[in-house]
Amino acid sequence: MNNSQVLNQVRFFAQQKMQNDQTGHGFDHILRVVKNASYILEHESQPADPMITLTAAYLHDIADDKLVADPQQSEQQLQQFLTKIGFSAEQNKQILLITHNMSFSKSLEKPISLPFCGQIVQDADRLDAIGAIGIVRAVYYGGAHQETIYDPAIAPRSEFSKAEYRDLTHETIINHFYEKLLKLAKMMNTATAKQLAHQRQQFMLNFLAEFQTEWQGKK
């Protein structure tokens, strides 16, 4: 198979795995991340392997431990799939390194330095977590987990471990903006993503200001 045919196989695999997601990580999210990654690839001067980058973008949520019951088993299935469609052991290793270590929660443990391909995928994913799409996804995810929309008595957390971050007992949807989403613009790796993140960051800040005005009943 040529590269285009291989990517079509990867796309189909991702669609089969993610099409029934109800948390904001569905196949529509995957496609936007791939488009973001493609855009960053085209606009960065530093070279990156398109096959590794785009494959990791398609597959980045397949074994996410907040989405699947057995992440280790999902990673094994992913590795078997990549081998089956012709990826080498080294390519397999590179892709899994990216998908396993690119999430925000990993930065709360012992973050590793991702290769440039991984930095692009990480930026592409984080861009889809902010701005208008990010707002909708945050609400959608919070609703799927029965989170409170907002409670002024619950202050956003400034420091937390991965386990604490994943504990939604005292989380609110609005606090999630302050605990994660508003931090992402400054965490972008590439100049391209940093530029794209600026407008999306401002959109979220405007939304939060309007939310507070309406919550407090101001005119």
> Looking at residue 143, which CATH number applies to its domain?
1.10.3210.50
Q: How many domains does the chain have?
A: 1
**Whole-model pTM?**
0.95
What range defines the domain where residue 22 resides?
A: 3-215
In this prediction, residue 113 carries a pLDDT of: 87
pLDDT for 72-103, tens place per residue?
999 999 999 999 999 999 999 999 999 999 99
Alpha-carbon span 57 to 38, nearest angstrom: 9
Residue 177, token pair as written in the block: 């903006």
pLDDT, tens digit, 9 for 90 and up, residues 26-64: 999 999 999 999 999 999 999 999 999 999 999 999 999
Reported confidence tier of residue 194, pLDDT bands at 50, 70, 90: very high
